[in-house]
């Protein structure tokens, strides 16, 4: 019903997210030296990257990639904003918000690997492992989650909810019917 306040279930609180991000930052700081190149995939990874870099004890460089999907579920992806730096010979960590089927990540990893970095690893905040179609090695994982459509901390539905400071599980049928369905319940007061 229009105007009804719906509160989706919280999956990860702000405190849980921050402790997961701190753990990942410690793992990366132990595994790499200064000069590590973090490649974040726009736009969903931005809050994660912003928190992650502030907990690193090494000095990383950061760059961004943006991709666009031709059609959902096909795995066909193209780069619409490429990196500014040459990654040949560099240690690169790809920073992703969520890995679902693994198709997107497989494409990006393949693309970056062709550029001959010294090493290439993936750091993903959320891993929906049960949905995986292609095997996708994730060296640094924040949280494994079940097969749910999640929102918040960078993850959107129709560009909404990225600015939520926690992660909630949404109902895709609700959202398709009313993309703003959770706005009042999540942000008001
Ligand atoms: P994959 O290619 O692994 O199936 O999909 C990865 C991309 O799909 C993610 O980068 C993200 O943009 C989107 N995605 C997958 N699962 C979710 C989800 O639960 N919530 C949201 N908001 N986006 C998702």
pLDDT score at 107: 93
Six token digits for residue 101: 């089927």
Indicate the domain borders of the chain: 15-146
- 55-92 pLDDT per residue, tens: 999 999 999 999 997 766 666 789 999 999 999 999 99
Residue bearing the CA closest to ligand 1, atom 23 = 155
Are β-strands 119-127 and 37-42 bridged in parallel, bridged antiparallel, or unpaired? Answer: unpaired
143 lines ligand 1 (CB under 6 A): no
pLDDT score at 161: 98
- CATH of 15-146 given 3.40.50.2020, 3.30.70.920, 3.30.70.270, 3.40.50.10320: 3.40.50.2020
User: pTM for the full model?
Assistant: 0.95
Q: Report whether 128 contacts 69 (CB < 8 A).
A: no
Which mutation among 155, 170, 171, 174 tests ligand 1's pocket best, with the greatest number of atoms within 8 A of CB?
155
123 lines ligand 1 (CB under 6 A): no
pLDDT score at 53: 98
Instruction: Give 99's contacts (C-beta < 8 A, 6+ positions apart).
Output: 105, 122, 124, 126, 127, 128, 132, 136, 138
Return the number of other C-beta atoms located less than 10 Å from residue 98's C-beta.
23
99 lines ligand 1 (CB under 6 A): yes
- Position 5 pLDDT exceeds 60: yes
Span from the CA of 17 to the centroid of ligand 1 (angstroms): 18
Average pLDDT of span 36-61: 98
- Nearest atom (ligand 1) to Cα of 41: 10
Q: Report whether 147 contacts 169 (CB < 8 A).
A: no
- Position 2 pLDDT exceeds 60: no
Confidence of residue 188 (pLDDT cuts 50, 70, 90): confident
pLDDT score at 189: 65
pLDDT score at 77: 86
- Strand, coil or helix: 8: coil
49 lines ligand 1 (CB under 6 A): no
């Amino acid at each position: 019903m229009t105007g009804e306040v719906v509160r989706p279930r919280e999956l990860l609180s702000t405190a849980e997210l921050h402790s997961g991000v701190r753990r990942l930052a410690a793992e990366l700081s132990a595994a790499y030296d200064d000069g590590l190149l973090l490649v974040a995939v726009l736009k969903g990874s931005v809050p994660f990257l912003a928190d992650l870099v502030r907990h690193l004890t090494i000095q990383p460089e950061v760059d961004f990639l943006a991709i666009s999907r031709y059609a959902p579920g096909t795995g066909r992806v193209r780069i619409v904003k490429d990196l500014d730096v040459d990654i040949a010979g560099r240690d690169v960590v790809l920073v992703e918000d969520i890995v679902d089927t693994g198709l997107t990540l497989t494409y990006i990893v393949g693309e970056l690997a062709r550029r001959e970095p010294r090493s290439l690893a993936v750091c993903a905040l959320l891993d929906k492992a049960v949905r995986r179609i292609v095997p996708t090695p994730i060296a640094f994982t924040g949280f494994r989650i079940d097969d749910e459509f999640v929102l918040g901390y960078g993850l959107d539905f129709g560009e909404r909810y990225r600015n939520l400071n926690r992660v909630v599980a949404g109902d895709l049928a609700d959202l398709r019917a009313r993309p703003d369905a959770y706005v009042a319940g999540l942000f008001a007061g």
